[in-house]
A and B are shown apart, each in its own frame.
Chain A
Amino acid sequence: MRFWSWLFSPVPLARVALLRRAVYLFVIIDVVYLHTSGYYHGWSDPVWYQPLWMGKLLHLPAASVPLVELLRWGSALTAVLALTGRLPRLTGWAVAIAWIWYQYVAFSYGKVDHDRGDFVIALLVLPMIGAATVSDRRLSEAAGWAMRAIQLTAIATYFLSAMAKLRFGGPEWVNSATMLRAVVRRGSWFGEQLLHVPWTLHWFQWVLVGLELLSPLIFFVAERWRRRMVAGWYLFHLITFMMITIAFWPHLVMMLAFLPLEEYYDSWRARRAARRAGRAQGAEPAPTETSQSTGAAGGGTAHAAVPPGRRLRLRATQR
């Protein structure tokens, strides 16, 4: 069955190891620097607590100062442990519970942010794979499924947010002043400039819905185009950030699941090794990053000997 082999098409375990690094590093940055509304709910009166469905089911209490401190530093500490790569299941589940609960505290006071539902899936599927190291280039179906699940959720955020616009804003959403409202409420210098040219914000809404509706195409195009589409989405999020200073940070991490991270890692190591070798040889010309650098890279992988361009065609990775 074609769909079946697509859903489980194997990826190197190294890719899982690298994505885990990105995800768990993000968790630390997130709880320490980025997302602080949950933290301050520890100081707000329980009269403002509005339990979500998850909290009713699990009987989660209103926030308190000890609870938010525990969840915040618990998320950071378990993420540090997960970054070591030891006991990936245990540490991965611990991060998932701490971080999801911490988000719950943030969202159960009347405002739910809509950029974090998909990251929950990444945290839940990554511990299901078990041990994975950057040097482990074996292909795994379990890893392939996890990557698919993350990719599908990341793209679902685009497609389903177009559906939500249809549900809450109606078809007239594209002609409404919603972006104008966003710029007025939390605009940046760049956004303020666009206020003077109102058609830009208006057309942005058409382009946005178009891109969101077409986003599932990413699963049907060739590898080269897939990477371009991911780059296009990163560019889109950069423009949004410049306009209304909102970035869907966890989602940006999720989009990494589309990329052959282990290949980038190899070429980065090869380049670094080549630079070092070049310095060591003094005035002599630096070696190129192909076969000469294999020994210095020391990664012990056969792939490092293949030039990056060729490797794309040789690699048996998820397409």
Chain B
Amino acid sequence: MIAERDVPPNDVIRLPRTGRAWRALLLLAVSALFVAGTWVGQDDWWPFSPWRMFSTSTSPSGSVTAMRIDVLIGDDPTWRPAPLAPSAVGLNRAEVEGRIPQITSNPAMLGTLARSHSQLRPDEPAWRAVRVVKHEVLLQNRAPTGAVRDTTLAQWSAP
């Protein structure tokens, strides 16, 4: 913290005492919010939410989970993977992943994805059913084993 200056003070635009005081207090308050957000806050404290990118621990021999959506189009009975991306359904993968309990108790939420898809991509065929699938990549000693596991968690069909 070196603060030496070698110009005459009159070259400097000084702050009045009150200007310094409120700036120092503001910085103190914002710092307190950031620190409190880190230790007790949750994501809904944003912009003071904890900086938790990649902060959770993953077991070296567990599994890596990613959700996927599959859809039915027209008369085709085959489920096809569909993009779970903002430009296709208005939401991204993590936003759907975070709401799994609500989706399983209210699968109609998946129907809103079909509707958003029709509005965002009117040239593509409409989805008549949507299901959300948990896709797991199994790990052993920090390396993928090559095995995967798919589980359907919820499903919606157009009435």
Chain A residues with a Cβ under 8 A of chain B: 2-10, 13, 36-37, 39-45, 47-48, 50-54, 100, 103-104, 107, 109-118, 120-121, 128, 138-142, 145, 148-149, 152-153, 156-157, 160-161, 163-165, 167-170, 172-173, 175-182, 184-185, 195, 198, 201-202, 219-220, 222, 246, 314, 316, 319
Say whether B64 contacts A139, CB under 8 Å: no
- Which residues of B are found within 8 Å of A111, using beta-carbon distances? 92, 94-95, 98
Is B92 a contact partner of A37 (Cβ separation < 8 A)? yes
Q: Do B58 and A316 touch across chains, with their CB atoms under 8 A apart?
A: no
Q: Which of A8, A109, A168, A219 contacts B52 (CB 8 A)?
A: A168
Q: At the interface, yes or no: B109 with Cβ under 8 Å from chain A?
A: yes
Say yes or no: A48-B112 contact (C-beta < 8 A), given A110-B94, A177-B59, A181-B58: yes
How far apart are A129's CB and chain B's nearest CB, in angstroms?
A: 10
Q: In the bound complex, do residue B5 and residue A316 qualify as a contact, i.e. CB atoms below 8 Å apart? A: yes
Q: B59 to A179, Cβ gap below 8 A?
A: no
Whether A167 pairs with B57 at a CB distance below 8 angstroms is no
Nearest-CB distance from B130 to chain A (Å)? 13
Point out the residues of chain A lying under 8 angstroms from B98, CB to CB: 110-111
Query: What is the CB-to-nearest-CB distance from A159 to chain B, in angstroms, rounded to a whole number?
Result: 9
- Interface flag for B158 (CB, 8 Å): no
B13 and A139 contacting across the interface, CB-CB below 8 Å: yes
Residues of A within 8 A of B45 (CB): 52-53
Contacts of A104 in B (CB 8 A): 46
How many A-B pairs fall under 8 Å by CB?
A: 228
B153 within 8 A of A: no
With a cutoff of 8 Å between Cβ atoms, the chain B residues found around residue A109 in the complex are 91, 95
Q: List 17 A-B contacts (CB under 8 A).
A: A41-B86, A51-B44, A109-B91, A112-B43, A114-B52, A115-B53, A117-B34, A120-B47, A141-B13, A145-B15, A153-B30, A156-B31, A156-B34, A167-B55, A178-B57, A179-B54, A181-B64
B62 nearest in chain A by CB position? A177
**In the complex, which of the residues A48, A139, A157 has the most CB atoms of chain B within 10 Å of its own CB atom?**
A48
Least CB separation from A36: chain B residue: B86
Docked-complex contact A48 and B60, CB < 8 angstroms: no
A71 to B13, CA, bound (A): 36
Q: Tell me how far the C-beta of B111 lies from the nearest C-beta in chain A, rounded to whole angstroms.
A: 9
Q: Tell me, in angstroms, the Cα distance from A220 to B3 when the chains sit together.
A: 11
A54 to B41, CA, bound (A): 13
Q: What is the minimal beta-carbon distance from B119 to any residue of chain A, in angstroms?
A: 5
Query: How far, in angstroms, from A107 to B115 measured CA to CA in the complex?
Result: 21
Cβ-closest chain B residue relative to A170: B57
Q: How far is the CA of A201 from the CA of B60 in the complex (A)?
A: 11
Chain B contributes a number of interface residues (CB within 8 A of A) equal to: 66
**Inter-subunit contact B52/A149 (CB<8 Å):** no
A3 touches B59 (CB 8 A): no
Q: In the bound complex, what is the Cα–Cα distance between A44 and B111 (angstroms)?
A: 11
Task: List the 6 closest pairs (A to B, CB-CB), nearest first.
Answer: A44-B90, A176-B57, A45-B112, A40-B86, A161-B51, A117-B47
Is there an interface contact between A176 and B60, defined as CB atoms closer than 8 Å? Answer: yes
Chain A facing B: main interface SS: helix
Contact with A along B25-48 (1 / 0, CB 8 A): 001001100110011000111111
Q: Indicate which residue in B1, B54, B120 contacts A2 across the interface (CB closer than 8 Å).
A: B1
Compute how far the CA of A208 lies from the CA of B55 in the bound complex, rounded to whole angstroms.
12
For B119, the chain A residues whose CB sits under 8 A away are 43
B147 contacts the other chain (CB 8 A): no
**CA–CA, A202 to B53, complex, Å?**
17
Cβ-defined partner of B13 (8 Å) among A138, A152, A319: A138
A140 to B7, CA, bound (A): 12
B50 contact set on A, CB distance < 8 A:
114, 160, 163-164, 167-168
**How far is B94's CA from A201's CA once the two chains are assembled, in angstroms?**
23
- Closest A residue to B48 by CB, please name it: A117
Contact A117 B60 (CB under 8 A): no
B39 CB to closest chain A CB (Å) equals 6
Instruction: Let me know if A219 and B1 touch, CB within 8 A.
Output: yes
B123 at interface, CB cutoff 8 A: no
Report yes or no: B56 in contact with A178, Cβ–Cβ below 8 A: yes
Q: Are B15 and A142 in contact (CB under 8 A)?
A: yes
Instruction: Return the contact of A195 from the options B5, B112, B143 (Cβ within 8 A).
Output: B143
B149 within 8 A of A: no
- Contact with A198, one of B7, B35, B51, B143 (Cβ below 8 angstroms): B143
B76-100: CB near A (< 8 Å → 1, else 0) gives 0000000000110111101100110
CB distance from A125 to the nearest CB of B (A): 9
